[in-house]
Amino acid sequence: MGEVSVKKMICPFDCPSSCGLLAEIRDGRIVRVKNDPDHPVSINGICRKMQQYEKNIYSEERILTPLRRTGKKGEGKFEAVSWDEALTEITDRWKVLIAQYGPESILPCMYSGVMSDIQRNCGDAFFNRMGASVLVKTLCSSAKGAGYESVMGKTGCLDPRELKDSDYYIVWGSNLAATRLQTLADLMKPENRHKKKVLIDTYANPTAKYCDQVILINPGTDGALALAMMHVLDKEGMADELFLEQYAEGYELLKKELPKYTPEWAESETGISAAVVRQLAREYGAAKAPAIILGSGNSRHGNGAMTVRLITVLSVLTGAWQRPGGGLCGCTPINTAYVDGTLITRPDFRKQAARRININQLAGALHLTGDEAVRSLYVYAANPVNTVSNQKKLVEGLEREDLFTVVHERFMTDTARYADIILPAAFSAEQSDIYRAYGYCTLGTAWKVVEAPGECKSNWNTFRLLAQYMGYEEPYFQRTEEEMVLYMLDHPTEAAGNCPEEDRQLLRQGGTIAMPLSDHLDIRTKTGKIRIVNEDLKEPVPAYRRNYGGNYPLKLVAAPGIYSLNSTFNERKDLVDSRGAMTLWMHGEDAAVRGIVNGQDIIAYNDLAQVVFKAHVTDRIARGTVVSEGVYTRSQSGNGYTINALNHERLSDMGEATTLNDNTVEVRPA
């Protein structure tokens, strides 16, 4: 047996900390993965999913060669072909489609399978060059971003490392134990243990056991709670009017609206008793440096951006932002660009504007006909059958015989099953890239540590080949992956260029550097002030607006799970086994009136579909709400459909985002 060498990697998944990893390598294979103690964030460890990353990389299920479909769409029958055969077939089909119907008949579909900059975004350059339809990539938290920015502009929010200075925490619609593990670790440190932690969520998610108080709220009503808290703060003289005068604009206009938003009014919207609203507001107002740790759950509603806008305004009301640890955490802590993304996406390659298709409306897009029809779909780093709304209609679209579908994947996902051609994808360990965490002020690089098995290729190398077969001759498509990383390091943004020499050296070698934390009083809005009232918006004064809701009696929430990351990690048997069946949490009273008992098979249904779950009956959920955790595959469900079959394609109020927590269902025994 050869010697063990240790190399640095960075976690490529869609998770806010982009943890540093150390790979132990023997005979060209990774034998173990652990946390990199030199990394600025993941000093204490990494999550259970990534502790055995080698199990994913060397999984028996991995796709190792290009494949051509031999069975019916969806059946999962394929034969191995060479890269040359696959690329020739793909590009021949595309050339015909472009000549006959124009390049907009081709639609790329990507999302967050890999988060490193080049591998994630290089496809944009290829499809810009082609002139293909533009995918609007708003499957995650763009409503949250729009709501925050409408108040704070580009001002950086708290980096979680600053939470050590806070004296009170509100975890608002986030399951830290699953999605922000490094933040939870910080909150549980001995020096922070005694500080009160309040969870506001639709159910007692796995983070509840780390909190001192759990407040259950009706989904989509958080804006009412924020307004009622502001009502109390204003009425009881806890708003910091000096701070608001100096740093913000428009408070006097909002103040006029506050009298009507009483805790009693909020109780009728949120289901939280007026007494608890008052108690929460008073505690929050009494704290010197309270931090609101905001998840994305409550932004995935028809009123999601307005909700985040109201919570952001609440975070400034008591002047918390002027004290270390006070303010809002969970939006973007970075107030400047670390990487010039246009060097990767190359908007200049696109010669004329093309139509935009929102990823949340992919199902509808695949049913367009005539001149508008989508005739080819190229999916990479995404698994829309499991992660995009309106699953049933989406699958019907993918079944179209005249839709030429290519999927670049690591595993036979529910989406890959519908491909005409599958291309085998590399893992992050087998490719090189630049990494920015979205939840921390860090910047890193990681070089390939092992060769890809079989014929797997990275996104960059695949688009390079596709460009070659299409006859695209731009120098961009000639670069190797390593040359592209070096090119990016040689063309730094101002912030990255200003790093100390030793940090720049580290980036060339591979590793993560801590970038300066944002100055939270350096308000980066158009007016230089925090915009409590924003004249650029349709509704300048923030107000309570209801979410879409629906005609069925129970509100349905899709929560993230600990054992998977969106649909990723469904290839890991150990994690899938620990997770268990696809369950639907429901309140004991809601179950009783429907004759449902714990553990029973149940059917949740609405106008879109029926989905079979196991009932998880509990009193730790808001009445009238049902929640399903985690993203399951179709084969793990009782009837071949998962929660997204029950979700509409409607978009949020700002940011064109998913509204996957804003749907209603009825439930009956199966």
Ligand X SMILES: Nc1nc2c(c(=O)[nH]1)N[C@H]1C(S)=C(S)[C@@H](COP(=O)(O)OP(=O)(O)OC[C@H]3O[C@@H](n4cnc5c(=O)[nH]c(N)nc54)[C@H](O)[C@@H]3O)O[C@H]1N2
Which residues sit at the interface with Mo ion, rule CB under 5 A? 140
Give 195's DSSP letter. Answer: S
**Number of residues lying near ligand X (CB under 6 A):** 62
Q: Which two tokens stand for residue 533?
A: 């009232």
Which of 270, 644 has the CB closer to Mo ion?
A: 644
Instruction: Choose the contact partner of 409 out of ligand SF4, Mo ion, ligand X, none; CB within 5 to 8 A by kind.
Output: ligand X
> Could you give the strand order of the β-sheet that contains 327-329, starting from the edge strand earlier in sequence?
213-216, 197-201, 168-172, 290-294, 327-329
Which of 169, 203 has the CB closer to ligand X?
A: 203
49 sits near ligand SF4 (criterion: CB under 6 A): yes
Q: Given candidates 8, 18, 377, 556, which one binds ligand SF4 under the rule CB under 6 A?
A: 18
11 sits near ligand SF4 (criterion: CB under 6 A): yes
3-state secondary structure 20-37: EEEEEEECCEEEEEEECC
Residues 221-240 that bind ligand X (CB under 6 A): 222
In the complex, the smallest distance separating the C-beta of residue 438 from ligand X, rounded to whole angstroms, is 9
CA-based nearest residue to 547, from 247, 299, 220, 59: 220
SS3 (DSSP) at 168 = strand
* Binding region for ligand X (CB under 6 A) out of 64-72, 236-244, 255-263, 289-297: 289-297
Contact between 345 and 339 under an 8 Å Cβ cutoff? The reply is: no
In order, the DSSP letters of 320-384 are GGGSTT-EEESS----S-SS-THHHH-GGG--S---EEEGGGHHHHTT--GGG---EEEEES--H
Indicate the length of the chain as a whole number: 670
d(CA 259, CA 262): 7
Instruction: Choose the contact partner of 174 out of Mo ion, ligand SF4, ligand X, none; CB within 5 to 8 A by kind.
Output: ligand X
Instruction: Choose the contact partner of 17 out of ligand X, ligand SF4, Mo ion, none; CB within 5 to 8 A by kind.
Output: ligand SF4
575 sits near ligand SF4 (criterion: CB under 6 A): no
> Could you give the strand order of the β-sheet that contains 20-26, starting from the edge strand earlier in sequence?
4-10, 20-26, 29-35
Q: Given candidates 8, 9, 17, 118, which one binds ligand SF4 under the rule CB under 6 A?
A: 17
Q: Which helix (H) or strand (E) holds 527?
A: none
* Binding region for ligand X (CB under 6 A) out of 2-10, 195-203, 269-277, 334-342: 195-203
Instruction: Choose the contact partner of 328 out of Mo ion, ligand X, ligand SF4, none; CB within 5 to 8 A by kind.
Output: none
33 sits near ligand SF4 (criterion: CB under 6 A): no
327 sits near ligand X (criterion: CB under 6 A): no
Helix axes 83-101, 459-470, angle to 10 degrees: 60
Instruction: Choose the contact partner of 50 out of ligand X, ligand SF4, Mo ion, none; CB within 5 to 8 A by kind.
Output: ligand SF4
Q: Given candidates 30, 47, 344, 496, which one binds ligand SF4 under the rule CB under 6 A?
A: 47
Contact between 63 and 412 under an 8 Å Cβ cutoff? The reply is: yes
Contact between 69 and 421 under an 8 Å Cβ cutoff? The reply is: yes
Contact between 470 and 438 under an 8 Å Cβ cutoff? The reply is: no
Amino acid identity of 636? Q
Which of 140, 357 has the CB closer to Mo ion?
A: 140
Instruction: Choose the contact partner of 463 out of Mo ion, ligand SF4, ligand X, none; CB within 5 to 8 A by kind.
Output: none
Beta strands in 27-129 (DSSP E): 29-35, 67-69, 78-80, 106-110
Instruction: Choose the contact partner of 127 out of ligand X, Mo ion, ligand SF4, none; CB within 5 to 8 A by kind.
Output: none
Q: Which helix (H) or strand (E) holds 512?
A: strand 511-514
In the complex, the smallest distance separating the C-beta of residue 384 from ligand SF4, rounded to whole angstroms, is 21
Contact between 449 and 465 under an 8 Å Cβ cutoff? The reply is: no
- 247-270 as b/e, with b when 16 or more CB fall inside 10 Å? bbbbbeebbeebeebbbebbbebb
* Binding region for ligand X (CB under 6 A) out of 96-104, 202-210, 339-347, 466-474: 202-210
Residues 597-636 that bind ligand X (CB under 6 A): 627, 631
Contact between 340 and 496 under an 8 Å Cβ cutoff? The reply is: no
Binding mask 551-570 for ligand SF4 (x = CB under 6 A): --------------x-----
CA-based nearest residue to 650, from 302, 141, 385, 362: 302
380 sits near ligand X (criterion: CB under 6 A): yes
Strands 442-446, 433-436: pairing is: antiparallel
Q: Given candidates 9, 19, 484, 507, which one binds ligand SF4 under the rule CB under 6 A?
A: 19
d(CA 566, CA 113): 9
In the complex, the smallest distance separating the C-beta of residue 45 from ligand SF4, rounded to whole angstroms, is 9
* Binding region for ligand X (CB under 6 A) out of 196-204, 390-398, 510-518, 600-608: 196-204
179 sits near ligand X (criterion: CB under 6 A): yes
Q: Look up tokens 């890193």; give the residue.
A: 444
Helix axes 222-235, 304-317, angle to 10 degrees: 20
465 sits near ligand X (criterion: CB under 6 A): no
Q: Given candidates 13, 613, 632, 641, which one binds ligand SF4 under the rule CB under 6 A?
A: 13
CA separation (Å) from 254 to 110, 259, 274, 291, 631?
Answer: 40, 10, 21, 22, 40
Binding mask 116-145 for ligand X (x = CB under 6 A): ---x-------------------xxx----
* Binding region for ligand X (CB under 6 A) out of 21-29, 496-504, 556-564, 580-588: 556-564
258 sits near ligand SF4 (criterion: CB under 6 A): no
Residues 240-259 that bind ligand X (CB under 6 A): none
Q: Which helix (H) or strand (E) holds 179?
A: helix 176-179
Query: What backbone phi and psi angles, to 5 degrees, belong to 364?
Result: -65, -40
Q: Which residue is nearest to ligand X (CB)?
A: 297
Query: What backbone phi and psi angles, to 5 degrees, belong to 263?
Result: -60, -35
115 sits near ligand X (criterion: CB under 6 A): no
Instruction: Choose the contact partner of 18 out of Mo ion, ligand X, ligand SF4, none; CB within 5 to 8 A by kind.
Output: ligand SF4
Residues 161-190 that bind ligand SF4 (CB under 6 A): 181
d(CA 56, CA 575): 11
Binding mask 567-586 for ligand X (x = CB under 6 A): xx------------------
Q: Which helix (H) or strand (E) holds 625?
A: strand 625-629
46 sits near ligand SF4 (criterion: CB under 6 A): yes
23 sits near ligand SF4 (criterion: CB under 6 A): no
Which of 142, 312 has the CB closer to Mo ion?
A: 142
| Cβ count near 403 (within 10 Å) | 18
410 sits near ligand X (criterion: CB under 6 A): yes
Which of 615, 654 has the CB closer to Mo ion?
A: 654
Q: Which two tokens stand for residue 413?
A: 């996902």
Could you list the residues that contact ligand X (CB under 6 A)?
A: 14-15, 111-114, 119, 139-141, 172-175, 178-180, 200-203, 205, 217, 219-220, 222, 295-298, 301, 380-384, 386-387, 408-411, 413, 425, 459, 557-562, 564-568, 627, 631, 643-644, 660-661
Could you list the residues that contact ligand SF4 (CB under 6 A)?
A: 11, 13, 15, 17-19, 42, 46-47, 49-50, 181, 565
